């Protein structure tokens, strides 16, 4: 019999990043509203891990704000934790509170009609097939390379952006999101590059409008209301920033989850119509974000009997909520037929829920089954224990996923 663990398992250590789920289990059971010192900038924060509390926080924008410029502490900003401080990205949709959020979100949402989403299917299928061709030619095939190509090419296409300059922007995003309190200037510079690029894209689209999201955002109107220039730039920059690594990680973790669960992989191959529920299960089982989502308390609040003072930083831990056994039967098991359990929170919840959800779902439901369709005998090329996740507080990201293709073709 193992002795009960009396003190919390270490958080944000090498071991935690490889597998945070045992720590989440401990926290849900023993300290569901947990005070901690966040390693970046040594910031005090509260980590909330139970499903019902996480969901309640995300649904309560009156007391829990997303607006870092307004509600975050100076130390939080100084540590570089607030997106795009000093640039228009500071005012991106994801950090606005109502009523600004309501207005911008409504205008942006208008671009994501079901008819428009349907037009992205065919290009996504083509991009996936050509990325698989490339994987087939690789000497050491790596699913994460495939998983990077798909969202980058899809978002470029959807926004109407040529791919050549896009590579530089991908690099800028990487630099911007690499938070290092010692080098916040470097990150601000990278954010500014993303903003400048957003402006370029908008200028170009004004000259040559197309059937793409950027043009739709430029034209978006609601009565007399429309997006002002900075809002437009911030929105385009946000779409580029948030749609890439998240989707990459989900495609990668979906493929790995099926490699780890051959019964589920065989089931998906036998019943391809399960792809939709499979994507939801990938989002629940091992989603794309490590520490998400951050909110700031606007007043003193009580969560699960613990008082959190006004002005605190709270992490609503999506991945922990998604493994809460009070809401998901056998939460550590991948089950692509899962239904009847609670709704997962992998794409957020409440006012800020993922604006690009339809695109993220479309890409993943095409990309993951296509990998196994093309390479039915796909297997890991390294021992399972050699796979590493990046030690990023933001994204849950496999560094690489080397495979043997063993294609029967
Ligand atoms: C698997 C891929 C994705 C995951 C896991 C994901 C996850 C999320 C989550 C959890 C939020 C909530 C943020 C919050 O409440 O603070 C969010 C918001 C957002 N996502 Fe995604 N996302 C994905 C893909 C995308 C894509 C492809 C796009 C765009 C093309 C996108 C655009 C956005 C935007 C604009 C918001 C902000 C919405 C708002 O604040 O109203 N996401 N996403």
**C-alpha torsion sign, points 342, 344, 350, 351:** negative
Task: Out of 104-118, 166-180, 246-260, pick the least confident.
Answer: 166-180
**C-alpha torsion sign, points 392, 251, 133, 373:** positive
Q: What's CA 47's distance to the chain center, in Å? A: 18
**What is the distance in A from the centroid of ligand 1 to the CA of 347?**
6
Q: What kind and span of H or E run contains 351?
A: none
Residue 409 has pLDDT above 50, yes or no: no
What confidence tens digit (pLDDT) does each residue in 284-312 have?
A: 999 888 778 999 999 999 999 999 999 99
Tell me which residues have their CB closer than 6 angstroms to ligand 1. 66, 93-94, 105, 155, 238-239, 242-243, 246-247, 250, 287-288, 292-293, 346-348, 352-356, 359-360
Alpha-carbon gap, residue 334 to 242, rounded angstroms: 26
- Of ligand 1's listed atoms, the one at least distance from the Cα of 318 is 10
Write the CA distances from 5 to 15, 233, 306, integer angstroms.
Answer: 16, 49, 22
221 confidence band (pLDDT: 50, 70, 90): confident
Residue 260 has pLDDT above 90, yes or no: yes
Most confident of the ranges 81-95, 140-154, 214-228: 140-154
**What is the distance in A from the centroid of ligand 1 to the CA of 7?**
34
- pLDDT at residue 85 in the model: 78
Task: Catalogue all structural domains in the chain, each as residue range(s) with its CATH number.
Answer: 14-404 (1.10.630.10)
At 346 the three-state DSSP class reads: coil
Q: Which of 70, 79, 84, 68 is closest to 43 using CA atoms?
A: 79
**What is the distance in A from the centroid of ligand 1 to the CA of 40?**
23
5 confidence band (pLDDT: 50, 70, 90): low
- pLDDT at residue 366 in the model: 98
- Of ligand 1's listed atoms, the one at least distance from the Cα of 250 is 1
Most confident of the ranges 6-15, 53-62, 193-202, 385-394: 53-62
- pLDDT at residue 393 in the model: 76
Residue 118 has pLDDT above 90, yes or no: yes
Q: Which of 216, 230, 214 is closest to 84 using CA atoms?
A: 230
Residue labelled with tokens 């779902």: 361
**What is the distance in A from the centroid of ligand 1 to the CA of 242?**
6
> Which of 161, 246, 286, 358 maximizes ligand 1 atoms within 8 Å of its Cβ, making it the mutation to test the pocket?
246
Q: What is the 3-state secondary structure (H, E, C) of 279-344?
A: HHHHHHHCCCECCCCEEEECCCEEECCEEECCCCEEEECHHHHCCCCCCCCCCCCCCCCCCCCCCC
Q: What percent of the chain has pLDDT over 90?
A: 68
Residues 6+ positions from 68 with CB-CB distance below 8 Å: 76, 77, 81, 82, 83, 90, 95, 294, 296
4 confidence band (pLDDT: 50, 70, 90): low
- pLDDT at residue 408 in the model: 44
- The CA-based dihedral angle spanning residues 358, 364, 370, 376, taken in that order and rounded to the nearest 10 degrees: -150
Backbone φ/ψ region at 368: left (φ over 0), alpha (ψ -120 to 50), beta:
alpha
Q: Going by CA atoms, what residue is nearest to atom 7 of ligand 1?
A: 347
**What is the distance in A from the centroid of ligand 1 to the CA of 64?**
18
- The CA-based dihedral angle spanning residues 14, 329, 282, 366, taken in that order and rounded to the nearest 10 degrees: 170
> Which of 356, 363, 366 maximizes ligand 1 atoms within 8 Å of its Cβ, making it the mutation to test the pocket?
356
Alpha-carbon gap, residue 81 to 388, rounded angstroms: 24
> Which of 355, 363, 364 maximizes ligand 1 atoms within 8 Å of its Cβ, making it the mutation to test the pocket?
355
391 confidence band (pLDDT: 50, 70, 90): confident
- Contact status, residue 36 vs residue 45, Cβ threshold 8 Å: yes
Alpha-carbon gap, residue 237 to 259, rounded angstroms: 34
- Of ligand 1's listed atoms, the one at least distance from the Cα of 246 is 2
Query: CA angle, 256 as apex, 394 and 277 as ends, to 5°?
Result: 90
Alpha-carbon gap, residue 199 to 201, rounded angstroms: 5
- pLDDT at residue 368 in the model: 98
Alpha-carbon gap, residue 24 to 168, rounded angstroms: 37
What confidence tens digit (pLDDT) does each residue in 226-253 have?
A: 888 889 999 998 998 888 889 999 999 9
**What are 104's two structure tokens?**
């911008």
173 confidence band (pLDDT: 50, 70, 90): confident
Q: What's CA 284's distance to the chain center, in Å? A: 12
Residue 181 has pLDDT above 80, yes or no: no
What confidence tens digit (pLDDT) does each residue in 61-101 have?
A: 999 999 998 999 999 998 888 877 778 888 889 999 999 89
176 confidence band (pLDDT: 50, 70, 90): confident
Q: What percent of the chain has pLDDT over 70?
A: 98
Alpha-carbon gap, residue 87 to 92, rounded angstroms: 10
**What is the distance in A from the centroid of ligand 1 to the CA of 95?**
12
Q: What is the residue-averaged pLDDT of the chain?
A: 91
> Which of 354, 359, 364 maximizes ligand 1 atoms within 8 Å of its Cβ, making it the mutation to test the pocket?
354
């Amino acid at each position: 019999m193992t002795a009960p663990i009396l003190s919390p398992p270490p958080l944000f250590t090498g071991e935690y990043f490889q597998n945070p789920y045992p720590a989440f289990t401990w926290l849900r059971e023993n300290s569901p509203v947990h005070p901690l010192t966040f390693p970046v900038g040594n910031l005090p924060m509260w980590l909330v891990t139970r499903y019902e509390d996480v969901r309640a926080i995300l649904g309560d924008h009156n007391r829990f704000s997303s607006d870092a410029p307004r509600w975050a502490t100076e130390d939080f900003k100084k540590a570089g934790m607030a997106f795009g401080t000093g640039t228009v990205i500071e005012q991106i949709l994801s950090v606005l509170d109502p009523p600004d959020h309501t207005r911008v979100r409504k205008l942006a949402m208008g671009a994501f009609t079901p008819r428009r989403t349907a037009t992205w299917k065919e290009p996504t299928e083509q991009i996936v097939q050509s990325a698989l061709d490339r994987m087939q030619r690789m000497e050491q095939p790596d699913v994460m390379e495939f998983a990077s190509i798909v969202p980058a090419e899809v978002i470029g296409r959807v926004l109407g952006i040529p791919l050549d300059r896009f590579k530089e922007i991908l690099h800028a995003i990487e630099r911007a999101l690499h938070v290092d309190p010692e080098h916040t200037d470097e990150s601000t510079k990278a954010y500014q590059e993303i903003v400048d690029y957003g402006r370029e894209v908008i200028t170009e689209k004004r000259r040559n409008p197309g059937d793409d999201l950027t043009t739709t955002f430029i034209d978006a109107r609601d009565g007399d209301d429309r997006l002002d220039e900075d809002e437009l730039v911030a929105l385009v920059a946000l779409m580029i920033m948030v749609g890439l690594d998240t989707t990459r990680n989900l495609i990668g973790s979906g493929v790995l989850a099926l490699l780890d669960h051959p019964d589920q992989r065989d089931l998906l191959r036998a019943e391809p119509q399960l792809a939709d529920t499979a994507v939801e299960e990938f989002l629940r089982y091992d989603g794309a974000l490590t520490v998400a989502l951050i909110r700031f308390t606007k007043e003193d609040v009580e969560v699960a009997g613990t008082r959190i003072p006004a002005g605190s930083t709270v992490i609503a831990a999506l991945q922990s909520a998604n493994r809460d056994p009070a809401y998901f039967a056998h939460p550590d098991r991948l089950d692509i037929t899962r239904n009847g359990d609670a709704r997962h929170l992998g794409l957020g919840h409440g006012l800020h829920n993922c604006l690009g959800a339809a695109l993220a779902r479309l890409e993943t439901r095409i990309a993951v089954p296509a990998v196994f369709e093309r390479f039915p005998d796909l297997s890991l090329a390294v021992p399972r224990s050699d796979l590493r996740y990046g030690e990023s507080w933001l994204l849950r990201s496999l560094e690489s996923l080397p495979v043997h293709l063993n294609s029967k073709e």
